[in-house]
Amino acid sequence: MHHATGRPPRVGDAPAIRRTLIGLVLITGALLILAPLVVIGVQAFSMGVGYFGATIAHPDTRHAIFLTVATALIAVPVNTIFGVAAAWAVTKHDFRGRRFLIVIIEIPFSISPIVAGVAYLFVYGLQGLFGPALQSADIRILFALPGIMLASMFVTAPFVARELIPLMQAQGRDLEEAATSLGASGWRTFFSVTLPNIKWALLYGVVLCNARVMGEFGAVSVVSGNIRGQTNTLPLHIELLYHDYNSVGAFAAASILALLAVVTIIAKVLLERQGAGRRSRPALAAPIVEAKP
Amino acid sequence: MTRRRIIPGLPLSLGITLFYVGLIIALPLGALVFKAASLGPEAYWNIISSERAVASYRVTVLSALAATLFNLVFGLALAWVLVRYSFPGRRLVDAIVDLPFALPTAVAGIALTTLFAPNGWFGGPLLEAGIRVAYTPIGIVIAMAFTSLPFIVRTVQPVLEDLDPALEEAAQSLGGSDVSIFWRVILPILWPALLAGTSLAFARSLGEFGAIIFIAGNQPFSTEITALLAFIRLEEYDYQAAAAIASVMLITAFVMLAVTNLMQARALRYTART
């Protein structure tokens, strides 16, 4: 980035190439990436602040926000505990099938959310494995909050683990081994030795996990049943409003999630300054490749 | 190498991990495979080779290919500009590259549809030029390109950052032009990372749903993607067809997972060597 004056120009540094490339990339980027964000804001307020406020304050919207937040409040902590446990097991210990387990943890990233939703239907739906038993016990999982939470957990299961595993792998086991040999318990070792070293990466994973849980659409739309005012999360509510020809209302609701996306990106940048996240992998969905020791 | 296992917590952490993986990941996927397998080979084949299903594969794969090719060029250019040049707002552009990851797919879907609809900011002028985007396969390509762009940028960026200037200097001192150095020195080094990012972007495009269904028009045989067909079969209570089609997507996902893992391992080995 800093071009030392005495050095010969690098490939592509000729002003004509430079200007053309920057110009083309910025224009295309603005059209493809920035424009959708702008159109959300413009559309959301196209019928005035009053209409925007009325949409947000509508009981159905409020309920959708409540469902989305409730889902995140369960799914994110559960996935965080899972991610930490998985990373601890996989990086601080040797056992048979370790590599295989890492691959399995990553699987949800590769699978279409629709496939995830359909798969859950065949576990808890009436035509699924446990459906009839659940019905006779009068337990509702699908088309209710538990189904939405389970599907969200599937989709985001790898988020925390994939941030922690490469980092803890690179950090090795020396510190934990030293702490243990000095008599610290497992919990004490984790909280006073491991956690301080992984806290930013952990937070990074949690932030990304939360963004995906709150925004999940495909998997949740299969398992939710889409009952207005009952099982509509915010993304599903947006779809409903949009198909009701209430496009402005849909964009008003969408602007909340767009704001969440912007906050997520800001948090991501701040956490990256603390050294979290690795630029070597895309932020939300690549398989973990273990570096050879 | 023998290593004494002295760090505690394996039974608990592995127990939690296996329980969760079993309940949340393995059980549903197993149930799906079980359901699809219970159809019997003939019924299964009839569903997955039906005309409408095959048309949906064609739409999905061709659109994903087009979107990935676009991102291969644009993603590389974007990564190049971000790494090699300094200009006002560079860090902001760098942050915004992640927007397609952070923006929920349904939100991206309605935003892109509004932009490219016949009365939209882009759709109107494009329509006057004779190009219809919304409710055509081009719309699907745009939605896929939007959601999968960061994969290629974020995979190529670090390799570009680590590129040793000495390589270029050596090539320049031998009299190579910028164009020939790019093609014969730089691109071969970037190629493994580009391929890895490309396969990730392609896999993501194959499975994308939320961003596409708003803009696609969803007409069987022309703008209906496979994920939507599975969804429609569910809504028709045709669970067998939904299971069969979803299982095709699942198998494709596993194949793509193997390919991306291979590509990434290759890219890592390659960058470690250079």
Instruction: Enumerate the domain spans of chain A.
Output: 11-44, 48-114+140-273
Residues of A in contact with B172 (CB under 8 A): 8, 11
Structure tokens, B203: 């896999």
Closest approach of chain B CAs to the CA of A54, in angstroms? 20
Is residue A35 scored above 90 in pLDDT? yes
Closest approach of chain B CAs to the CA of A177, in angstroms? 6
What local confidence, expressed as pLDDT, does residue A208 receive? Answer: 94
**Mean pLDDT estimate for chain A:** 88
What local confidence, expressed as pLDDT, does residue A116 receive? Answer: 95
What local confidence, expressed as pLDDT, does residue A277 receive? Answer: 79
> Which site among A28, A32, A130, A143 would you substitute to test the B interface, given the most B Cβ atoms closer than 10 Å to its Cβ?
A32
What local confidence, expressed as pLDDT, does residue A293 receive? Answer: 35
Is residue A282 scored above 50 in pLDDT? no
Q: How many CB pairs under 8 A join A and B?
A: 334
Instruction: With both helix axes pointing from N to C terminus, report the angle between B187-207 and B239-273 in degrees, rounded to the nearest 10.
Output: 170
Query: Positive or negative CA dihedral for B53, B59, B65, B67?
Result: negative
* Cβ neighbours of residue A251 closer than 8 Å, sequence gap 6 or more: A40, A43, A44, A46, B110, B111, B114
What local confidence, expressed as pLDDT, does residue B42 receive? Answer: 95
**Alpha carbons B268 and B264: distance in angstroms, whole number:** 6
Residue at token pair 């708003």? B214
What local confidence, expressed as pLDDT, does residue B4 receive? Answer: 58
Helices (H), chain A: 15-29, 35-44, 48-57, 59-92, 98-110, 113-124, 131-136, 145-156, 158-171, 174-181, 186-189, 195-215, 218-224, 234-243, 247-273
Domains along chain B with CATH numbers = 39-273 (1.10.3720.10)
Residues of A in contact with B151 (CB under 8 A): 282, 285-286
What local confidence, expressed as pLDDT, does residue A129 receive? Answer: 87
Contact B17 A115 (CB under 8 A): no
Question: B138: number of CA atoms within 13 Å, CB side?
Answer: 10
Which residues of chain B from 212 to 271 reach within 8 Å of chain A, CB to CB? 214, 227-228, 230-231, 234, 239, 242-243, 246, 249-250, 253-254, 256-257, 260-261, 264-265, 268
Model pLDDT for residues A60-118, shown as the tens digit of each residue: 999 999 999 999 999 999 999 999 999 999 999 999 999 899 999 989 988 999 999 99
Helices (H), chain B: 10-20, 27-37, 41-48, 51-84, 90-96, 99-102, 105-116, 123-128, 137-161, 165-173, 178-181, 187-207, 210-216, 226-235, 239-273
**Alpha carbons A164 and A180: distance in angstroms, whole number:** 21
Closest approach of chain A CAs to the CA of B131, in angstroms? 16
Confirm if B196 and B269 have CB atoms less than 8 A apart: no
Which residues in A31-46 are b (16+ Cβ under 10 Å) and which e? ebbebbbebbeebbbe
What local confidence, expressed as pLDDT, does residue B20 receive? Answer: 96
**Alpha carbons B274 and B269: distance in angstroms, whole number:** 9
Among A7, A104, A236, the residue with its CB nearest the CB of B21 is A104
- Selected from 3.40.1190.10, 1.10.3720.10, 3.20.20.210, 3.40.50.300, the CATH number assigned to the domain covering A48-114+140-273 reads 1.10.3720.10
Is residue A292 scored above 60 in pLDDT? no
Percentage with pLDDT > 90 across chain A: 73
What local confidence, expressed as pLDDT, does residue A153 receive? Answer: 96
Residues in chain B where the model's pLDDT stays below 50: 1-2
User: Which of A117-126, A175-184, A276-285, B121-130 bottoms out in mean pLDDT, i.e. has the lowest?
Assistant: A276-285
Contact A25 B12 (CB under 8 A): no
Contact A114 B98 (CB under 8 A): no
Residues of B in contact with A2 (CB under 8 A): 86
Confirm if A226 and A240 have CB atoms less than 8 A apart: yes
Model pLDDT for residues A57-73, shown as the tens digit of each residue: 999 999 999 999 999 99
Instruction: Provide the 8-state DSSP code for A291.
Output: P
Confirm if A232 and A240 have CB atoms less than 8 A apart: yes
Structure tokens, B232: 């429609």
**Alpha carbons B178 and B30: distance in angstroms, whole number:** 53
**Alpha carbons A221 and A233: distance in angstroms, whole number:** 9
What local confidence, expressed as pLDDT, does residue A8 receive? Answer: 67
Query: Positive or negative CA dihedral for B122, B127, B130, B133?
Result: positive
Structure tokens, A67: 């469902």
The residue among B76, B108, B118, B135 whose CA lies nearest residue B208 is: B108
Contact B209 A113 (CB under 8 A): yes
> Which site among B1, B10, B13 would you substitute to test the A interface, given the most A Cβ atoms closer than 10 Å to its Cβ?
B13
Query: For the whole model, what pTM was predicted?
Result: 0.91
Closest approach of chain B CAs to the CA of A91, in angstroms? 10
Percentage with pLDDT > 70 across chain B: 97
Residue at token pair 């494995």? A129
Is residue A287 scored above 70 in pLDDT? no
Give the DSSP per-residue string, B170-207: HHHHTT--HHHHIIIIIHHHHHHHHHHHHHHHHHHHHH
The residue among A69, A114, A104 whose CA lies nearest residue A213 is: A69
Rg value, chain A, Cα: 23
Percentage with pLDDT > 70 across chain A: 90
**Alpha carbons B230 and B85: distance in angstroms, whole number:** 45
What local confidence, expressed as pLDDT, does residue B176 receive? Answer: 84
Model pLDDT for residues A201-234, shown as the tens digit of each residue: 999 999 999 999 999 999 999 998 767 667 899 9
Question: B161: number of CA atoms within 13 Å, CB side?
Answer: 11
What local confidence, expressed as pLDDT, does residue B131 receive? Answer: 94
- Please give the ipTM for the structure prediction: 0.91
**Alpha carbons B59 and B136: distance in angstroms, whole number:** 10
Q: Is A147 left (phi over 0), alpha (psi -120 to 50) or beta?
A: alpha
Closest approach of chain B CAs to the CA of A168, in angstroms? 14
